[in-house]
A and B are shown apart, each in its own frame.
Chain A
Amino acid sequence: MPENAAAIALTQVPPISLRRRLVDRLMTGVAVATVIIVLAPLIAIFGYLVYRGIGSLNWAFFTQLPKPVGETGGGMANAIVGSILILGIASVIGVPFGIGAGIYLAEYGRNRFGSAIRFTADVLNGVPSIVIGIVAYAIVVLYQKHFSALAGGVALAIMMVPTISRTTEEMLLLVPQALREAAYGLGVPRWRTTLSIVLRTATSGVITGIMLAFARVAGETAPLLFTAFGNQYWNLQPGQPTAALPLQIYVYANSPYDDWHRLAWGGSFVLIILIVGAISAVRYVVRRGTFGA
């Protein structure tokens, strides 16, 4: 009897009504349309950037200082060097703190205090970059009495720490517990286990986090506006105002001169190549498998 009922039920499934099938098709179409609408500006931005950017690049772009208003030519060499300086300062400050905090979270942070740090890092990640600029201004610029590369570096370092610490934590947690136990079993002290076994095993993952943080802050402009400030000339001193690529793009974009617009597009192209390069490298490393196991 039950078998019979089941058989009847199976044969009597009503066909899906036309309306329901149409709605299904319609919604699929809508989803495809959203993808196209979202991809369109991306392709437009990249396409236009490459089109304007490649045309703007030449040897002078990478080697010369900006020309005074009215003269064409010149380059953004000082901004590129300035960006490297500021990012260097940011990395020197931000990377050790970020990795340290990540190690704490992974190895010691399975408690309330760890959760508090984790939450704080997430909150810090959401603070608008311009607000971080204000703080760097308050703690460095007001103290030094003038704008400086150091202030810009501090602002970017603050922005790097949350990303680095959370990815470091994630990567260290992926390291098998058995490795730690094996090291303890051999009498290796905890600090050496953490540094030479756990951190070493997770190196490529940790570097991934650093690269992501780097790519994120490399294009930041807002926190540099009143910290690094910009400079028309060379500067290699951390204590002085310094040009930076994103800052210079902003200044040139707002200028009324065609030749400066050209430089802005060239700068943007260089910046995007740098960032996309970093992200692609990260994806390549991640896909290859972090631990080779």
Chain B
Amino acid sequence: MSHASTSEVPDRVFQFVITACGLAVIGVLALIVYELMQRSSLSWHSFGWKFFVSQEWDPVNEQFGARPFIYGTLVSSILALIIAVPLAVGVAVFTTEMCPKALRAPLSFFVELLAAIPSVIYGLWAMYVLVPLLTQYVAPFLSKTLGWTVLFSGPFFGYSMLAAGIILAIMIIPIISSITREVLMVVPQHQREAALALGATRWEMIRIGVLRNARAGIMGGIILGLGRALGETMAVTMVIGNRPEISKSLFAPGYTMASVLANEFSEATGDTYLSALIEIGLALFFVTIIVNALARLLVWTVTRGQPARGHA
């Protein structure tokens, strides 16, 4: 492009520096993978696949199995999704399809604020407001009405899987809701008009014309929320009870992969112990990567090529 030879050298240097910055992004990810794999190799060699199914977590005898943590992570995240998805999709539908224009901006700002609250503050609130609330009102009610199921049986511990699931749900609602909103906004207007022209009521228009077209994208938002829930650390650690046990009741305490890292990493003595913790980190890393890549792909198939931000 440039014919002036004097400008070629600085241009080359500039392009080199800028490309290096771009490369650094990939480099950082590679570094994460390398460090995690290398530093967990000791545990991997001692325990192999058994690491992920064994229930024993015994730092004193250097026996490590991650099953209680994997179980806790999955159960708390799935519980959070069950609570969060209907609420988040409802809020997104309301803000895009039903809400008066004047209310739209403040509402999305509030939901955005919800996403900006640090995890540790959610945890603090959950410890001193949510858990007492659950202990006093919600748990007695649940055990009276649904106590016959395994899920809500036994004594309520306060710091429990249930508390973790609820605080996680509150934390992932903004993500799911904002992605869903983005996806709903790129559904072409003529889909709505066509449904209305056929005599559909507003809800029928939303169901047939909007939600059906946005299915894949909403799914993407949900999976993105799942990714966040799986890796969420502080708030969960503060309310889940941190006990490496597998209990069928949501009233009982549990432990997650991220929580065990938060609690034990800086105190881990012995190479095997540290290596086992890092292997948990590696597993968490791979799971969230896969989940996120899947989510991005789904959102991308819907919003592809269309500026999703323009409508707000």
Contact = CB atoms under 8 A, between A and B. Distances in A.
B90 A31 contact: yes
A130 B203 contact: no
A28 B25 contact: no
Nearest to B295: A126
B146 interface: no
A49 B1 contact: no
Nearest to A275: B116
B164 interface: no
Chain A CB within 10 Å, residue with most, of B4, B258, B281: B281
Contacts of B227: 126
B26 A265 contact: no
Interface stretch (B13-21, B53-61, B148-156, B183-191): B13-21
A27 B93 CA distance: 10
B94 interface: yes
Nearest to A104: B22
B203 A23 contact: yes
Contacts, number: 262
Contacts of A291: none
A21 B204 CA distance: 10
A108 B23 CA distance: 12
Nearest to A230: B266
B124 to A, nearest CB: 5
Interface in B230-282: 230-234, 238, 258, 261-262, 265-266, 278, 281
A34 B292 contact: no
Contact of A27 (B86, B95, B203, B289): B203
A180 B25 CA distance: 26
A101 B22 CA distance: 4
Contacts of B199: 13, 16
Contacts of B14: 190-191, 194-195
Interface residues of B, number: 89
Given A34-B86, A190-B2, A229-B266, A101 B25 contact: yes
A276 B113 contact: yes
Contacts of B118: 218-221, 246, 268, 271-272, 275
Interface string B7-39: 100110111011111111110110110011001
A81 interface: no
A117 B26 contact: yes
Contacts of A138: 35, 39, 278
A200 interface: no
B201 interface: yes
Contacts of B141: none
Contacts of A114: 22
A190 B285 contact: no
B170 interface: yes
Contacts of B109: 283
Given A30-B90, A41-B170, A226-B266, A131 B292 contact: no
Interface of A: 13, 16, 20-21, 23-24, 26-28, 30-35, 37-39, 41-42, 44-46, 48-49, 96-97, 99-101, 103-105, 107-109, 113-114, 116-117, 119-135, 137-139, 147, 158, 161-162, 165, 184, 187, 189-191, 194-195, 215-216, 218-222, 225-226, 229, 246, 249-250, 253-254, 261, 264-265, 268, 271-272, 275-276, 279, 283
Given A44-B129, A100-B18, A250-B234, 11 more contacts: A30-B90, A38-B173, A45-B122, A100-B17, A114-B22, A123-B289, A127-B231, A134-B36, A190-B14, A249-B124, A265-B124
8 contacts: A42-B110, A44-B125, A126-B291, A129-B233, A191-B11, A216-B116, A219-B120, A229-B266
